[in-house]
Amino acid sequence: MMGAAQEKAKIELRDVCKTFGSVDVIHSLDLTIEGGEFVVFVGPSGCGKSTLLRMIAGLEDVSSGDIFIAGRDVTDLDPSKRGIAMVFQSYALYPHMSVRQNLAFGLEMAKTPADEIARQVNAAAEILKIGPLLDRRPGQLSGGQRQRVAIGRAIVRKPLAFLFDEPLSNLDAELRVSMRIEISRLHRELGNTMIYVTHDQTEAMTLADRIVVLRDGRIEQVGTPRQVYEDPNNLFVAGFIGSPRMNIVDAVCLAGDRIGVADAVIPLPRPGPAAAPGEAVKLGIRPEHLRLGAPKESALRAHVDFSEYLGSTRYLYCNLQSGESITVEQRDGTDFLSGEEVWLNCDAECLRVFSPSGERLRTGRPERTATA
Amino acid sequence: MSRNHGSSTRRLLEAARYHGFGIAAALLFLAPLVWSVLVSFKPSIEARQPPLPPWPVGGFSVQSYENLAQYGSGIWTYAGNSLAVSAATVAASVLVSLLAGYGFSRFQFPLKNVLFVLIISTVMIPFQSILTPLFLILTKLGLQNTLTGIVLVYVTLQLPFSTFMMRNAFDAVPREIEDAARVDGASVFAVLYRIMLPLVLPGVATVAIFAFLASWNEFLAALILLTDQKKYTLPVLMAAVRSGQFGTIDWGAVQSGVTLMMAPCLALFLLLQRYYIRGLTAGAVK
Ligand SMILES: Nc1ncnc2c1ncn2[C@@H]1O[C@H](COP(=O)(O)OP(=O)(O)O)[C@@H](O)[C@H]1O
Ligand SMILES: [Mg+2]
């Protein structure tokens, strides 16, 4: 119906809340998703990603607040009238219908003429390479094929927006990578607004135009993959995005834009973060920003606990003098023995300072985006 | 070689035991049915004699069926009554339990569980104990001695089981399938009709079979609530036939009646048994 004009729908959430009984699941959330944007909701499981998506789809009532799709207030509109398509984690294909009927169902509901339906279904089958499967039942398909059919069912309707709820989490690792690329290609070709929910930060980083990091029903940060990775707003985002995780160690701010970590004193970019000398802070360093070097005052002394060889890289799991553990990503192929002493250097620009409560303490000027 | 021989003998013995037991059990269950059918084809005089051998010695005869057909206002009246009552009971049970089961499975409303337990708990009340109040209520409603009245009673009696059955059937359908259909643009009724109904069909078949068998065979309520001979259903008719005209019992007519009553039940069961088994085990396995 409204899908005919393939507009790029802007989606707006205004002050949206959701409570289940007495439990607040979504807390007063504001978000604007531009038309044609690929937005990924990422967060640990149970943080309310699915609930939020289901609210946009209309499958879950909104406790308070408003939702707009393509400028229209859809807050109280039935899911069938919102003009969006959704792909579910369990695929949710209609088991009693053939693949062809599964694809056609949405069009039939929209009272599309039969010849038009046949054309659309064939076109979608073409795009997703499921032509030979059209007369099978979902029960006769593999997981990856079911996933394609589920996506096909979404695209035939030419919806205003696509919603994906962890669509790849039931697939094996290899298939997940290829489907991820395919979804990315689909977005490029169709250009629709897409919202994609995942707890997998690799999917989030690779697919998203913008990432929305959620925790306990609140937005922790919204930004491009680069922004959330390199310029996290707080410890949660810093720890959640990136694998292996960002190293977080206790530190003390010192006079002269320096920071004391364990027994090392490391210079900070100038002007330093808004913290008084002597103040205890948390210091975040990505594993790939730590370099091994000669002993000196500004280097962290650590002992290798064990090391993992991954071919192109090696992860060293080390212990600082203070007993804190720290992970180092190493690319030069040297071997390390357990218990070996190493000295770790890090550029000032790569240090991220957080308050003890987890808020980011930014420096006065914009930081250089770090390079490996 | 000898080991091979031994194992194949063992397999043969096992198969023989397995099939032997199956055949014996089948015979045990089939014998009374076959006996009834055979007796129903004996001539009236012979049917009255001691039942050995069970088959008609004096040649097959449809005399018993002719006698039965003549009885009262004619067998077709009663068969028609029974069919009408059963069909209406099946239709009403399926419709009510389908909607009730969907509601109990998918919607949240106050006192939902209390209501459900209340409906289920009515199976614990012996039906005989409420016959008198039922009779009085139907009389008040002007439905006593009507087929509509008896249908209402049967549907009520079937309701706990049917509702329970359908709720389980709906519970076994993943919620996301329904969500997908709603997002696909289907209205609540389109979801129920196009998506849910085909998926709960085994449950519907089970409810239908139970409703049919129960209403087709029910005797006591029909005997008490139907007073006009023209309104009798087959079980009541059979009792009347058995008690006989002028004190004699026409066993041939009774057996032909039994055969007649048995036929639709068997046909229905054989037709729907696949669904029926699946319906009974629905929800047992994910
Ligand atoms: N229908 C519901 N009733 C009650 N609580 C629910 C319901 N659905 C989800 N929740 C709760 O809301 C929270 C968020 O759930 P969900 O959105 O599914 O998380 P996610 O998809 O991020 O893993 C969870 O704590 C979950 O227990
Ligand atoms: Mg979820």
- pLDDT for A371 beyond 50: no
Nearest to B64 by CA among B241, B277, B187, B278: B241
CATH 1.10.1740.10 assigned to B72-281: no
Q: What is the CATH number of the domain that holds A138?
A: 3.40.50.300
- pLDDT for A174 beyond 50: yes
Closest residue in A to B184 (Cα–Cα): A106
Q: How many domains does chain A have?
A: 2
Nearest to B183 among A79, A90, A95 (CB): A79
CB pairs under 8 A between A and B: 64
Contact B184 A105 (CB under 8 A): yes
How far is CA A122 from each of CA A129, A135, A184, B25, B169, rounded to the nearest angstrom? 10, 12, 21, 54, 34
Question: What is the average pLDDT across A209-232?
Answer: 95
What is the pLDDT at residue B75? 84
**Domain identity same for A192 and A258:** no
Task: Indicate the residue type of A149.
Answer: V
Decide if A192 is inside a domain.
yes
Task: Give residues 40 to 69 of A whose Cβ lies within 8 Å of B.
Answer: 54, 57-59
Contact A90 B174 (CB under 8 A): yes
Q: Which residues pair with A285 in a beta bridge?
A: A247
Contact A85 B184 (CB under 8 A): yes
Decide if A366 is inside a domain.
no
Instruction: Determine whether the shortest distance from the Cβ of A198 to ligand 1 is under 6 A.
Output: no
DSSP class of B52: -
Residues in CB range of A256: below 8 A, 6 or more apart: none
**Domain identity same for A322 and A223:** no
**Domain identity same for A256 and A327:** yes
HEC string for B195-242: HHHHHCHHHHHHHHHHHHHHHHHCCHHHHHHCCCHHHCCHHHHHHHHH
Decide if A6 is inside a domain.
no
Decide if A170 is inside a domain.
yes
Task: Give residues 184 to 223 of B whose Cβ lies within 8 Å of A.
Answer: 184-187, 190, 194-195, 198-199
Decide if A155 is inside a domain.
yes
Beta strand A247-254 with A38-42 is unpaired
Structure tokens at B267: 């046909």
How far is CA A285 from each of CA A9, A327, B12, B178, rounded to the nearest angstrom? 39, 9, 74, 47
Dist CA A261 CA B277 (whole Å) = 70
**Domain identity same for A188 and A250:** no
| Boundary (domain end) residue, out of A235, A259, A279 | A235
**Domain identity same for A258 and A226:** no
Structure tokens at A86: 């959704």
Q: Which residues pair with A48 in a beta bridge?
A: none
- To test ligand 1's pocket by mutation, which of A16, A20, A61 has the most ligand atoms within 8 angstroms of CB? A20
Instruction: Provide the pLDDT confidence category of residue A59 given band limits of 50, 70 and 90.
Output: very high
Q: What is the pLDDT of residues A276-310, one digit of tens each?
A: 888 899 999 999 999 998 898 889 999 999 899 99
Burial B189-215 (b: 16+ CB within 10 A, else e): ebbbebbbeebbbbbbbbbbbbbbbbb
Q: Any chain B CB within 8 A of the CB of A90?
A: yes
Task: Indicate the residue type of A58.
Answer: G
Q: Where are the domains of chain B?
A: 2-40, 72-281
Transcribe B2-42 into DSSP letters.
HHHHHHHHHHHHHHHHHHHHHHHHHHHHHHHHHHHHHHHTS
Distance in Å, CA A19 to ligand 1 centroid: 10
Question: Which chain B residues have a beta carbon less than 8 Å from that of A57?
Answer: 179, 183
Beta strand A314-320 with A325-330 is antiparallel
What is the pLDDT at residue A372? 36
- pLDDT for A312 beyond 50: yes
Tell me the nearest-neighbour CA distance from A84 into chain B, angstroms.
7
**Domain identity same for A86 and A111:** yes
Residue closest via CA to ligand 1's atom 3 equals A20
Q: Any chain B CB within 8 A of the CB of A274?
A: no
Boundaries of domain holding A21: 11-235
Q: When comparing pLDDT for A32 and B134, which is higher?
A: A32
**Domain identity same for A30 and A102:** yes
Flag the least confident range among A112-121, A147-156, A359-368.
A359-368
Bond into A366 cis (ω within 30):
no
Question: Which chain A residues have a beta carbon less than 8 Å from that of B184?
Answer: 80, 85, 105-106, 109, 153, 157
ipTM for the predicted complex: 0.84
**Domain identity same for A224 and A126:** yes
Task: Divide the 286 residues of chain B into consecutive groups of 10 and give the mean pLDDT of each group.
Answer: 72 92 94 87 76 75 82 85 95 95 91 93 88 90 91 93 94 92 91 91 90 92 87 87 71 85 88 74 44
What is the pLDDT at residue B246? 64
HEC string for chain A: CHHHCCCCCCEEEEEEEEEECCEEEEEEEEEEECCCCEEEEECCCCCCHHHHHHHHHCCCCCCEEEEEECCEECCCCCHHHCCEEEECCCCCCCCCCCHHHHHHHHHHHCCCCHHHHHHHHHHHHHHHCCHHHCCCCHHHCCHHHHHHHHHHHHHHCCCCEEEEECCCCCCCHHHHHHHHHHHHHHHHHHCCEEEEEECCHHHHHHHCCEEEEEECCEEEEEECHHHHHHCCCEHHHHHHCCCCCCEEEEEEEECCCEEEECCEEEECCCCCECCCCCCEEEEEECHHHCEEECCCCCCEEEEEEEEEECCCCEEEEEEECCCCEEEEEECCCCCCCCCCEEEEECCHHHCEEECCCCEECCECCCCCCCCC
Coil vs helix vs strand at B282: strand
- Using a pLDDT cut of 90, give the percent of chain A over it: 69
Q: What is the pLDDT of residues A341-354, one digit of tens each?
A: 999 999 988 999 99
pTM of the model: 0.81
Q: Testing the interface with B: which of A82, A84, A96 to mutate, by most B Cβ within 10 A?
A: A96
What is the pLDDT at residue A359? 92
Nearest to A59 among B182, B187, B194 (CB): B182
Q: Testing the interface with B: which of A69, A87, A109 to mutate, by most B Cβ within 10 A?
A: A109
Closest residue in B to A155 (Cα–Cα): B184
Burial of A328 (0-12, 13-18, 19+ CB in 10 A): buried
DSSP class of B146: S
Closest residue in A to B178 (Cα–Cα): A92
**Domain identity same for A181 and A213:** yes
Instruction: Determine whether the shortest distance from the Cβ of A46 to ligand 1 is under 6 A.
Output: yes
Q: What is the pLDDT of residues A230-270, one digit of tens each?
A: 999 999 999 999 989 999 999 999 888 889 998 889 988 87
The per-residue pLDDT of chain A, averaged, comes to 90
HEC string for A174-208: HHHHHHHHHHHHHHHHHCCEEEEEECCHHHHHHHC
Instruction: Provide the pLDDT confidence category of residue A364 given band limits of 50, 70 and 90.
Output: low
**Domain identity same for A33 and A59:** yes
Instruction: Determine whether the shortest distance from the Cβ of A277 to ligand 1 is under 6 A.
Output: no
- pLDDT for A79 beyond 80: yes
Helical segments of B110-228, H only? 112-121, 131-140, 147-171, 175-183, 188-190, 197-199, 201-217, 220-225
Give the rounded distance of the alpha carbon of B71 from its chain centre: 25
Nearest to B179 among A92, A93, A157 (CB): A92
**Domain identity same for A197 and A258:** no
Contact B177 A92 (CB under 8 A): yes
**Domain identity same for A338 and A263:** yes
Decide if A259 is inside a domain.
yes
Nearest to A86 among B174, B180, B199 (CB): B180
What is the pLDDT at residue A100? 95
Q: Testing the interface with A: which of B106, B173, B183 to mutate, by most A Cβ within 10 A?
A: B183
Give the rounded distance of the alpha carbon of B148 from its chain centre: 19
Instruction: Determine whether the shortest distance from the Cβ of A22 to ligand 1 is under 6 A.
Output: no
Question: Which chain A residues have a beta carbon less than 8 Å from that of B187?
Answer: 78, 80
Decide if A294 is inside a domain.
no
